[in-house]
Amino acid sequence: MERLGFKFWYHLRRGCQAALGLLDRLEGWAGGRLQNYPLELARRHRASIVSVIQRHHMAAHPDEGYYARQYWHWLGEGLERWAQKGPGAQQPQILDLGCGQGRLTIPLARWAADRGGRVVGVDFAAEVLEEARKLALEEGLAPVIEWREADIPTFLQDQPAASYDVVACLEVLYALPGYRQALGEVARVMRPGGVLFAGFRPRYFNLLSALASGRWTALPMLLTGSEGYPFGPPTWLAWQSAREVREILTGAGFTVTGLWGIGICSGIAGDPLASLAQPSRLSPAKQEALMEVELALAADLADCGRYILAAAWKKGNYPED
């Protein structure tokens, strides 16, 4: 009996030691995984964004041409106003951050070329930039545009201060963690009196998307927060109201001159308002009627579009209205 008791305690002790060793290894493994998890999540987020922009050709998509025209209504008007008052109207240096396949880089380059200026288009997806290069070549604008493969924060950090007159950053900030710091860097690389065009995802759009897709658990975060993973990882998102956009840009050193909703009554396939109107499904006459309505509502209902477009001047020696 004494021998059996000794064996029992001996094996119990060995079993406990083995269990403790296993727990130590699991703790070490879990600690390593948790420590690396933010990096892994960032990698997966980046991969998801690259996948989307590779599939969704912004310059060739049948709906995006309509929204490019809507953007250009405000950008063209803002650029002309700036050119009449701004200090860098001749030979303007323009930066298009998150340029994608060049949907808006091309009209920016055409505008700049008429004034002896140049455009730098920045995107982190090599395949996307290759499509943009082809489009610029077809449009005869290749000599006016420099294409740079880089992520936005790294690119901005490498640029000298006060080196650009105009910066466009459209449909990219809502998927850029650290977008507030990036806007601070944008202000640094802009000359005083320069003009910024920035796009933000409205809170209202994301709420409609959650309701339309039945993702009710996302509603509290979308109502009370402004960034995170409302629809689950790996895709990180940011969203704001027009009031919050104005506060963000003012805090970054800009004076906001306009806020407009892009796509107040319409959307591409999968958008919550696409059932009302999808541009590619409309005749040219109906597209123009839709455009007239959306432009008329853009300032009053800036919160209610697919994106909020903001125009802002960098503070310091900019012309007063």
CATH number, domain containing residue 304: 3.40.50.150
Average pLDDT over every residue of 203-216: 95
Evaluate the CA torsion angle 76, 151, 267, 264 in order and state its sign: negative
Measured CA to CA, the distance from residue 314 to residue 293 in angstroms comes to: 31
85 with 185, same domain: the answer is yes
- Do 15 and 48 share a domain, yes or no? yes
What pLDDT, on the 0 to 100 scale, is given for residue 210?
96
DSSP at 112: H
Q: Which one of 9, 40, 55 terminates a domain?
A: 55
> Pick from 12, 28, 55: which residue ends a domain?
55
Cα of 65 vs its chain's centroid, Å: 18
Tokens 């021998």 correspond to 3
Q: Check if the beta carbon of residue 249 is closer than 8 Å to that of residue 314.
A: no
Neighbours of 57 (CB within 10 A): 14
Which pLDDT tens digit goes with each residue over 267-277? 999 899 999 99
Lowest mean pLDDT among 68-72, 231-235, 283-287: 231-235
DSSP 239: -
Residue 230 falls within a domain, yes or no?
Answer: no
Mean pLDDT of the chain: 85
**Per-residue pLDDT, 31:** 38
User: What's the structural domain count of the chain?
Assistant: 2
**What's the confidence (pLDDT) of residue 48?**
56
pTM for the model stands at 0.82
Q: Are 273 and 186 part of one and the same domain?
A: yes
Which stretches within 86-190 are classed as H helix? 105-113, 126-138, 152-157, 179-189
Q: What is the mean pLDDT of residues 250-278?
A: 95
> Given this model, what pLDDT does residue 321 score?
40
215 conformational bin, left if phi > 0, alpha if psi -120 to 50, beta if neither: beta
Instruction: Provide the terminal-to-terminal Cα distance of the chain, rounded to the nearest Å.
Output: 100
Give all strands (DSSP E) within 56-105, no chain letters.
93-97
The answer to whether residues 14 and 102 belong to one domain is no
DSSP state of 211: H
Euclidean distance between CA atoms 118 and 109, whole angstroms: 7
Residues 22 and 128 in one domain: no
Q: Are residues 50 and 66 in the same domain?
A: no
Instruction: Provide the pLDDT for residue 85.
Output: 76
Residue 32 is part of which domain span? Answer: 1-55
Q: What is the pLDDT of residues 144-185, one digit of tens each?
A: 999 999 999 999 999 999 999 999 999 999 999 999 999 999
